[in-house]
Amino acid sequence: MKNIVLFFTVFMSLCGFLAPALSYNQDDLDQLLKTNSCQDCDLSGALLVDANLAKANLKGADLSGANLRGALLRMADLAGASLKNADLRDTVFEAADLFQADLSGANLGNANLEGACLVEASLPKEIQPPTENTLVSQKEKDVQPGVVPVQQKDIPAPVTPIQTSSAPAPVKQTEEVVSESSLPLQLSKKGPGASPVEVDTVSEIKLISQEELVETLLETGMCVECDLAGVNLSGAKLKEAYLERVNLAGADLSKANLKDANLKGANLQNANLQGANLRGVDLYMANLAGADFTGANLTEASIDGAYMAGALLDGAEMDKVQQ
């Protein structure tokens, strides 16, 4: 009898030690799977293998130790979330917001971080954090998504041309050369309005024109922190577009369809949004000073923290606007 009591005592003690590894709140997990939204939830240790969580609202959620292998988190809001020691192998974070997220100790083997915002995020030691004002666009032929490039030791150093008295001075190159090992894994850089860059080879970075940015936006519906100031997007079809922290100051977006678009932190100062469809658009902390919303549909839009000094709202539909 004493042996049986001792067995159960040891068993319960072991269960107590193991409990923290599976300490997620079941109600929170059920809420996430049902609504695709669970802000500030306790999902630590949750089993979410291959889960479809595209565009999920997981802002501030605790996903430490969770198994998210193969999960789809494209365009998900994970700002301030804890993914410490999580299994993130093969996870797709394409265009996800990981601002100030904690990924320390996480396994990011073959994860896709293309377009993800990693500003102020805590990353595993094997991944080099992005430098300020740097944006790298990955191409499959150059760098596989989620794989830290390895510096090749056999690449010869560039030869500096010798200037002679009869030869003109060499023209200063506008392209910046970086080593393979210094390339970050994401497509965003710090600061709205900065020009993105595209990698043609692993060692070259060159600026992308505004016209190319607009073309890419219309094709993909995504342009994170792009400088699109003053562009003409009148009547553009941008439903559910991902435009976080984009610079659209003075842009013409009249009659554009931006339904359910993500414009968090965007600069729309003095932009023309007359007659635009902004139903369900997320304008959290956006700069809307002087923007013209005359006749626009802002039903169920989120303008929490938005700066709206001088904005024109004549005839705009404002039903169920979240402030």
Q: Is the residue at 7 inside a domain?
A: no
- Amino acid type, 150: V
Residue 213: what are its φ and ψ, rounded to 5°?
-65, -45
Q: What is the pLDDT of residue 22?
A: 53
Q: What is the pLDDT of residue 96?
A: 86
Question: Is residue 194 located within the same domain as residue 298?
Answer: no
Q: Is the residue at 246 inside a domain?
A: yes
Q: What is the pLDDT of residue 1?
A: 52
Question: Is residue 228 located within the same domain as residue 190?
Answer: no
Q: Is the residue at 42 inside a domain?
A: yes
| Full-model pTM | 0.50
Can you count the helices (H) and strands (E) in the chain? Answer: 3, 3
Token readout for 104 is: 């320390």
**170-189 per-residue burial string, b: 16 or more CB within 10 A, e: under 16:** eeeeeeeebebeebbbbbbb
The model's pLDDT over 161-199, given as tens digits with 9 standing for 90+, comes to: 434 334 444 434 333 333 333 334 433 333 334 444 443
DSSP assigned state of 300: T
Q: Distance between CA atoms of 249 and 257, rounded to whole angstroms? A: 18
The CATH number of whichever domain residue 230 belongs to comes to: 2.160.20.80
- By residue range, what is the domain housing residue 136? 129-144+174-208
Question: Is residue 309 located within the same domain as residue 250?
Answer: yes
The model's pLDDT over 84-122, given as tens digits with 9 standing for 90+, comes to: 999 999 999 988 889 899 999 999 999 998 878 888 899
Question: Is residue 285 located within the same domain as residue 215?
Answer: yes
Q: Is the residue at 136 inside a domain?
A: yes
Question: Is residue 230 located within the same domain as residue 311?
Answer: yes
Domain boundary among 127, 160, 193: 127
By C-alpha distance, which of 218, 213, 249, 260 is closest to 235? 218
Model confidence at 205, pLDDT cuts 50, 70, 90, reads very low
- Amino acid type, 36: N
Question: Is residue 95 located within the same domain as residue 194?
Answer: no
Q: With contact defined as beta carbons under 8 Å apart, do 44 and 26 qualify? A: no
**For residues 258-276, average pLDDT:** 95
pLDDT at 26 over 90: yes
Q: With contact defined as beta carbons under 8 Å apart, do 43 and 25 qualify? A: yes
- Amino acid type, 155: I
| Count: domains in the chain | 3
Q: Is the residue at 313 inside a domain?
A: yes
